[in-house]
Chain A
Amino acid sequence: MSFYKPKFRHPQLPSNALGFTRAEYEGALSTLCAGCGHDSISAAVVQACWELDLEPHRIAKVSGIGCSSKSPTYFLNKSHGFNSVHGRMPSVATGAYVANHELTYIGVSGDGDSASIGMGQFAHVVRRNMNMLYMVENNGCYGLTKGQDSATADEGSRSKAGAINPFENIDLVGVALEIGATFVARSFSGDKEQLVPLIKAAIAHRGFALLDVISPCVTFNNHHGSTKSYDYTREHVQTGNIVDFVPSRSEITAHYGEGQNHSLNLHDGSVLNLSKTAPDHDPQDRRQAINALADSRDAGQILTGLIYIDTGEPDFHSMMKINDKPLNSLSQDQLCPGNEALQKINQKLR
């Protein structure tokens, strides 16, 4: 295992529109296990932010506790990060967002952090349509405490010690759909081709974007009998659609020949091209999305892709009617009503 991240980069690394190479979006050396799915996701975040030409310092990273929540250290070194407490990242993200809605918020959580201890906050950040990318690095187990089952472990899945999980699993994608999420997607850490455009689309989405990423735990949950292993996931992935993200200022040049193609306009002017592989699933129809998820589950498959999107719902910022000038930039003159107003209040209290 490496313990040193070389600073040397190829001198001809390509630059994005801001003149940054991908290196400008990288983070510290990962301390996760070699082969951990989370590191692939970190690499996909780096790629997506680079491709989106985001200024790294205008991104804020937030996380809870666990292996997944450590990973924001391993991407976007030039962004501020906040590794908060277990299961409570959504509230910290919400507070940070209302203080300055102009930054891009990337939240990283895990299956324990979101589906167990953080289930309450997860549900409420969804129903608030809080503007953020909320990534669940889902491996079905508690890695940092050595492999206990989590709430997303499938019923019947076998732990490394051989125990069969007797409990029904919680599918965060299904929960999010049920309580009104406006962007719901699932991917697999081993499928960068799908993951990167989904991250880009999630960031461009105005509102809450859930991205559940199956991210196998190589150390505790990658054995035969586990339903969150690399092999099992690869064998059971069902790709609902293939997503191509076209940023706002690019012309749409890509054309998808076969199958049913569908273009979606996002609020920032960018376009999502969806190449549907499941003909009965229109990702703008919540009922169809719920059905597609259930059908896939009944068939023993893991539905991935953009499962549902609604670009018409108001986001948290507009629901709360917050001024466009970020609250954290208001001056004392704008915040403090002054003594004259106070004396009028006194008068009413006499």
Chain B
Amino acid sequence: MPKPESSEKKSSVAPITAINDFVVKFANVNGSGSASANTLFAKAIFRMGVPVAPRNIFPSNIQGLPTWYEVRVSEQGYLAKRGGGVDLMVSVNPQSQLDDVAEVLPGGYFFYDNTRPLDIRLIRRDINYIGLPLTDITNREYDDARLRQLFKNVIYVGALAALLDMELAVFDKLIAEQFAHKEKLIKPNCDALRLGYKTMGEMYSCPLGMNVRRSDRVGDQIMMTGNSACGLGAVYGGASVAAWYPITPSTSVAEAYESYASQMRYDKEADRKDYVVIQAEDELAAMGMVIGAGWNGARAFTATSGPGVSLMTEFLGLAYFAEVPAVLIDVQRTGPSTGMPTRTQQGDILSCVYASHGDTRHVCLFPANPKQCFDLTAAAFDMAERLQTPIIILTDLDLGMNECMSEALHWDDERKYDRGKVLSSEQLDELDEFGRYLDVDGDHITWRTLPGTHPEKGAFFTRGTSRDEYALYTEKSPAYEKNMERLLAKWKAAPAWLPEPLIQSDGNSYGVMYYGTSADAVLEARDLAKSQGVALDCLQILAVPFHDSVTDFINAHDYVFVVEQNRDAQMRTVLLSELSCDPSKLVSVLHYNGIPISADVIAEQIINVLQHSVAVPASTS
């Protein structure tokens, strides 16, 4: 087959050369089966020992609209979205080609189906075009339309393997694992991969100067979505009741929980489960079920996103006031309202910390990677029962729905669940007096009883109305105030049960505070800033309410940049509300366009502020 002329035409700018440090972006049509092929590509890089961070950028749609899959390859282990353009665009969707071609960096590569000539408007002189007649090949090789579609995806992955010098054996093994239960699919997939590999090699000089080289930077790390890690964490944390209502991007939390629980807590012979998953009629009901189960002594959780949190707030206020354990996983998406349902954001900080009317405050946790998702979810059930209050875990779409590289998971078999203060029948027998809200230990946490425990003692009425220490309804102001003061004292003492912030400090003048998925971008930005002569200390917030070390960190620095993926600097508001610190010291670095934050945005904003530090703005909000 003759090589089409455009294939080998070199760009006016020198083609990008890079080893294990580049970004490949796939432009696909939603619902075309591209996701599994793209995942195969990313996983192969991971198996070659090279750190990789794949991200789905998808529409709120099932079939037909443009969808992208961006893979960052980074020998140095930078896992945040890389700022700037793309090194290699794999263009499989004509709908979005005009935008896609514009995203390629000068000297970069544009891979496309050259069965038909490229539209003249898509021609740039400063990039390299790599054509492969995907449609011709699949029409020739396959009779069935669906097969043509599916194998087209595998063929372009094979072509990439040739272009990027990837090991075919790695792909073979991955395909064999993927189809372990459908063995007859292994060979056709391996064949399609080789077809792409071979044809590409015949049509273009392979490999490119930009390619993948086997490395040892992965170690025993795993790749997992944050949602799966939360679901698995809930199994390990002892959750036996999950109630939920489907909502992007949290749906796969409940699905992962059910999948893992069905493997580990299901008696196949008896067809009986040691767990239950209830798909509720809405988020209100989901939260109500969690509270009912928590009241009755089972560990229970729900997972939702911002719109669901809005609906759950009345129940959250009840659980706070009546002191019922509950765990809520909020996988944040772009708000307000329906917002951009398939884009990421950290926009629910205020709506979670202060959810519900009246004076309420909720314990919130902020994992940044799958390992932290697992650890914090499992620990949240201890915290909920210890503190007898809702625990809200805030992740986001970026972490929740993307396969993220992470430290391996570990469970200490010596660890014992903390079931909190629950009186047994024997303990009740020994008690002269039981008051559900009587602070007998002076630690602001009172003993509770579970329904059905004791024939004579310990029964009480749980309510959202004001009550005295014996759970009897009262409208007496002193009793109401005493209870509210105790709840506040409990909140202030809560950090003793919560994870400490992660601090990296070298005594620099400037610090950066961040939480959740900004972590990877901040750590990369710190390196970027350092290369420009700015040294930064770092603090990752893992929990609200804050430990004293957060105050100490602020006090120890001239300025502390607070990095957030929302418009209104919500965590900064919480910091100022909860801590007595100088507002002018907390400088916001904000990014909220729905795309994950990248290091260049952070470094640029910080350096910009410091260069003009004669008048540092208190906040950009």
Contact = CB atoms under 8 A, between A and B. Distances in A.
Contact of A96 (B260, B267, B275, B293): B293
A339 interface: yes
Interface string A135-173: 000000000000000000000000000000000000000
Interface string B248-276: 00000000000010001101001111111
Interface in B205-259: 220-224, 232, 235-236, 238, 240-241, 243
Given A57-B455, A88-B285, A324-B272, A337 B235 contact: yes
Interface string B293-320: 1111111100000000000001100100
A332 B289 CA distance: 22
A84 to B, nearest CB: 7
B289 A92 contact: yes
B190 to A, nearest CB: 21
Contacts of A2: none
Interface residues of B, number: 71
A328 B289 contact: no
A57 B454 contact: yes
Contact of A95 (B222, B224, B294, B409): B294
A112 interface: no
B412 interface: yes
B416 A77 contact: no
A95 B288 contact: yes
B459 A327 contact: no
B298 A328 contact: yes
Given A55-B455, A60-B296, A321 B273 contact: yes
Contacts of A83: 461-465
Interface residues of A, number: 58
A95 B296 contact: yes
Interface in B501-518: none
A323 interface: yes
Interface string A198-226: 00000000000000000000000000000
Contact of A92 (B223, B288, B298, B456): B288
Contact of A345 (B290, B315, B409, B449): B409
B296 A328 contact: yes
Interface in B378-414: 408-413
Contacts, number: 217
A328 to B, nearest CB: 4
Interface in A105-160: 120-121, 123-124
A83 B324 CA distance: 13
A92 B281 CA distance: 13
A103 interface: yes
A114 B412 CA distance: 47
A85 B284 CA distance: 10
A350 B291 CA distance: 37
B241 A95 contact: yes
Contacts of B285: 88, 90-91, 94, 120-121, 124
B387 to A, nearest CB: 19
B411 A338 contact: yes
Nearest to A89: B288
B451 A330 contact: no
Contact of A350 (B222, B271, B450, B461): B222
Contacts of A190: none
B451 A79 contact: yes
Interface in A30-85: 55-58, 60, 62, 72-73, 77-85
B292 A100 contact: no
A73 B463 CA distance: 11
A96 B292 contact: yes
Contacts of A237: none
A312 B411 CA distance: 45
Centre residue among B297, B300, B459 by max chain A CB count within 10 A = B459
B282 A120 contact: yes
A94 B456 contact: no
B125 to A, nearest CB: 43
Contacts of B223: 349-350
B179 interface: no
A79 B411 contact: no
B292 A120 contact: no
B265 A95 contact: no
B497 interface: no
A339 B410 contact: yes
Given A88-B284, A103-B452, A328-B450, A82 B274 contact: no
A7 to B, nearest CB: 15
A92 B291 contact: yes
A63 B296 CA distance: 15
Contacts of B291: 84, 92, 95
B222 A323 contact: no
B281 A336 contact: no
Centre residue among B274, B411, B451 by max chain A CB count within 10 A = B451
A97 interface: yes
Nearest to B472: A28
B58 interface: no
A96 B222 contact: no
Contacts of A97: 292
B236 A349 contact: no
Interface in B421-450: 449-450
Interface string B563-607: 000000000000000000000000000000000000000000000
A102 B314 CA distance: 29
B289 A95 contact: yes
Contacts of B314: 85, 88
A84 B296 contact: no
27 contacts: A56-B459, A81-B461, A83-B461, A84-B288, A91-B280, A91-B292, A96-B296, A98-B298, A99-B295, A99-B296, A100-B296, A100-B451, A103-B296, A124-B281, A322-B273, A322-B276, A323-B274, A327-B240, A327-B241, A328-B298, A334-B265, A337-B236, A342-B409, A342-B411, A346-B408, A349-B224, A350-B222
Interface of A: 55-58, 60, 62, 72-73, 77-85, 88, 90-100, 102-103, 120-121, 123-124, 320-325, 327-330, 332, 334-339, 341-342, 345-346, 349-350
Given A85-B288, A350-B221, 16 more contacts: A62-B292, A81-B459, A82-B295, A91-B280, A91-B285, A91-B292, A98-B298, A99-B298, A100-B298, A120-B281, A120-B285, A327-B241, A329-B297, A335-B265, A345-B260, A350-B223
Interface of B: 220-224, 232, 235-236, 238, 240-241, 243, 260, 264-265, 267, 270-276, 278, 280-282, 284-300, 314-315, 318, 408-413, 416-417, 449-456, 459-465, 473
